Each structure stands twice: as structure tokens, then as C-alpha cells.
Chains A and B, each alone.
Chain A
Amino acid sequence: MTLETDVAIIGAGPIGLFAVFELGLLDLKAHLVDILDRPGGQCTELYPEKPIYDIPGLPIVTGQELTERLMEQVKPFKPIFHFSQMAAALSKEPDGRWKITTDAGTEIVAPVVVVAAGGGSFVPKRPPIAGIEAYEGKSVHYAVRKMDAFRGKNILIAGGGDSALDWTINLAPVAAKLTLVHHRDGFRAAQHSVNQMRELASHGKINFEIASVKALHGDDGRLRAVTLANPGKGEWEHACDTLIPFFGLTIKLGPIAEFGLNLTENLIAVDTAKFQSTTPGIFAIGDINTYPGKLKLILSGFHEAALMAQEAFHICRPNEKLRFQYTTSSSNLQKKLGVA
């Protein structure tokens, strides 16, 4: 699927969202790609409930609320979101525009690309167990896409958060055998899920082990057993053919490193007038960029988005004159915002 727009934005965190607003005021349309399944980036993934105190005009706002307010603010501009997709490649079209290809095969062609990717992509945390890579995709999975793929398996789920508990409960009926392993007899999960898991364990439908996974045993990516350990009991072998670790997400730069951009310690170097990278047409705003004096603050990203939009206009509308207006006084802008 190839889509055309004015600006393709990588990242639907607070800065990517505010970029939609600033671009929208200039009549520029935007598509956004985000690996998460919802907007907000770090604000909703890492600290949805934590208060933020340094957003101008909002003395206290949670990550979730800020995201909701930004979504409301950009609504008049009808941005198109491509969630649960990772921007996998950046290439140049024969006509000079840029093309972003996602891991789901979506292609977005635009004269301007804005990288607002924070620290990169949220990816599952990989337990530091020697040789685990060889099992990934075969016996080790970081997500459950189709429950049927786990039917009849001898499953070991590692972790103590909501995902670990939820999938323990959901996969118990389809698995031949299911064991949950967690380093303590306590969970960072909804109480009703914990109760349900304990109920299943008391009826022998699942096993619960207080331990950590130390080693994997098998051949050609096929898991045969793991070594479990806990300080009281020592180490023992546990037979299983499937391991599903759930330790939440972490941030990796990911494919952006291969985009051919000028990177300094995993950050994109930009100028401070346009927030453009050294590659014309490619901008970087928010935590992903670097310049002298850079502060990784949401408010800095908002400023960067506003200045980026000015230059994006010149690239997208080379024959038009940019009219700088204020939302307070311009009936034209107010019409775009749907308030006039």
C-alpha cells in the first residue's frame, strides 16, 4: 500500500503529535508511524499515571492526560496513524521525495520526513541468557499473536507483570503444560489476575515457580529444557519446549540507525533554525535530536516542531508564500481548527 502525503512523521509521542498541529496550521497533512498500538510514546508506555509538572500552562498533567489533550488538539487536522508498525526503511524516490516503508509493508511517500522517535523503538526486553537469540521465533516468543500456535505446548512463561499473568491465564487451557516462573511471590499486576493465577495453580492447572531462568537447553532453536535457579533451592532443570518472557519493553534505536542520517551517539544532529538533519528534507525533533544546548524536555520538542513546520512548508509548497498568523486573531486559522 503506497500512500502520499505532505509529511511523514516517525513517532506518535507528544512531539510527533504537536508537529501535526503546527503542520496543520500551515495546511500540511501528516501521516504518523508508531511501533506502539496507541499514541503517546514514552508518556503512555512508561509513565501514563505519573504527573508531569513542567508543561507550560499545565501545572500538573499525567502522561496519559497530556497525550489525550494533544490528540484533541490535532483532531481538526485529521492525521492518519499507522500504529503497531515500525518505520523499517527510508529511501529516496526518483522525483526527489522520500519514502518510508514500515515492517507491515506500508509505504508513505512525502517530500518531508520528521523523525520524532524519542529514543527509538519500543521493543520487548530480551533476558540476558546466553544463546537465547538462536531460539527466538522458534521456541522463544516475546508476544502471543495466535493462541493456536501454542496449543499442546509445554510452556514456560517468565515474568510477573500483567502480560505474564494474563497470558498464563489465557494459555493455560490450550497448553499441554504451563509453568509461570517469577523471581518472587509477588506481582506487579492486577489483583484479580493474581487471584486467578493462584486459583489455577491450586487446582494443578498450572505450576508456579519462584525462580529465574539461567540457561536454555536444546538444539537448532528447539528448546528442550531450561535451568531454573533460586537462592534457597539452588539450580534445577525444567523441561519445556516454549519460553515466553514478559519483562516489558525497552527502547532501542532500531532501523533509524540504518537510514543513512548523520548520527552522534544515536542522536540525529540538526540545525537550530529548522531542526533539519544534514540530509535535506529529513527533520528530527524531540529527544532523538542533538544540537548545542539541547535539553530533553517535552517543551523543547514543541518549540522544535513549530520551527520545523516553517521549513517543511517551504519544501512542500515551494511556490507559495508562508503567511505567519496567530490562532488568536486569524479567522483563517480558526476555520482550520473548527472554531470559527
Chain B
Amino acid sequence: MKIIATDRKGAVHEVEGRDGWSVMEILRDAGLPIAAECGGACACATCHVYVTGDWFAKLPARSDAEVDMLDMALAVEPNSRLSCQITCAPELDGITVTVAPE
């Protein structure tokens, strides 16, 4: 599966996802500016992305923990997600995300 990620400068990156990995791990390892300070524990909100296009509606709903943690994110929008809470899967092939401002 592929993830189409837009960084904070507007550059678009196509990165190869891995089933079962979190989108945060894929973006971080691809060198995108994802701090992920807590390492994927849904405890810091520094892997905040906007899921764009139709993709937001296709994702499983946010957990209560993620909704709560988004309160510590900056510039939250209706399509905000913490990328450590999105798991790569074949049906997400082509998902488009934009890295949120820091």
C-alpha cells in the first residue's frame, strides 16, 4: 500500500506502507517531520496529521484516548488524526495525509 504524504512545505511524498505498521512509523522512518515524542503511545500529539479527501471517513473512528490526546494538538481540524493510531492496511492504499503544523 502507498501513503501520499504532504509535508509542511507542501512537498508531496509517496511512501510505501507496511501492513500492521502505524502510519506514524512509516512517515517517521521515511524522514518526514513527525516528532512522535512518545514513540507511538498516544501520549503526546506530536504525530498529528490531517487525513484529506475521502480518506478520513474511511478510517475506523478515533478512540476516546485519541480524541482526548488531540486536545493537546495544535491547529486541530475536523479531519485531524494522530498518525500513530492509524494502522496500515491494504484498503488504505493511496491514503492522503498532510503533516500538521508544529
Contacts and interface: CB of A to CB of B under 8 A. Distances in A.
Interface of A: 42, 46-47, 50, 119, 125-128, 159-161, 182-184, 186-188, 212, 231, 247-248, 250-251, 296
B43 A50 contact: yes
B25 to A, nearest CB: 14
A163 to B, nearest CB: 10
Contacts of A160: 71
B102 interface: yes
Interface of B is mostly: loop
Given A119-B37, A251-B37, A212 B76 contact: yes
A52 to B, nearest CB: 10
Contacts of B101: 128
User: Ordered nearest first, which 6 A-B pairs have the shortest CB separation?
Assistant: A128-B101, A160-B71, A188-B68, A188-B71, A248-B72, A183-B76
B38 interface: yes
Interface in B87-102: 101-102
A161 B43 CA distance: 13
Contact of B74 (A128, A182, A186, A231): A128
B37 A247 contact: no
A126 B73 CA distance: 10
A321 B43 CA distance: 46
Contacts of A47: 38, 41, 43
B86 to A, nearest CB: 19
A248 B67 CA distance: 15
A187 B67 CA distance: 9
Interface in B23-57: 35, 37-39, 41, 43-46
A251 B45 contact: no
Given A128-B101, A248-B45, A250-B46, A187 B37 contact: no
B37 to A, nearest CB: 5
Contacts of B74: 125-128, 247
Nearest to A161: B71
B69 interface: yes
B26 to A, nearest CB: 18
A interface: dominant SS: loop
Interface of B: 35, 37-39, 41, 43-46, 67-76, 78, 101-102
B41 A46 contact: yes
Contacts of B72: 125, 159, 161, 188, 247-248
A58 to B, nearest CB: 17
Contact of A42 (B35, B37, B70, B76): B37
Given A188-B72, A247-B74, A250-B37, 8 more contacts: A42-B38, A125-B72, A127-B74, A128-B75, A186-B71, A187-B71, A248-B44, A248-B45
A231 B69 CA distance: 20
Contact of A247 (B38, B43, B73, B78): B73
A159 B78 contact: no
Contacts of B39: 296
B38 A46 contact: yes
6 contacts: A159-B72, A161-B72, A183-B71, A247-B45, A248-B72, A250-B102
A50 B41 contact: yes
> Which of B37, B67, B70, B71 is most buried by chain A, counting CB atoms within 10 A of its CB?
B71
Contacts of B71: 159-161, 182-184, 186-188
Contacts of B37: 42, 46, 119, 250-251
A165 to B, nearest CB: 10
User: Most chain-B CB neighbours within 10 Å: which of A184, A188, A212, A231?
Assistant: A188
Contacts of B44: 46, 248, 250
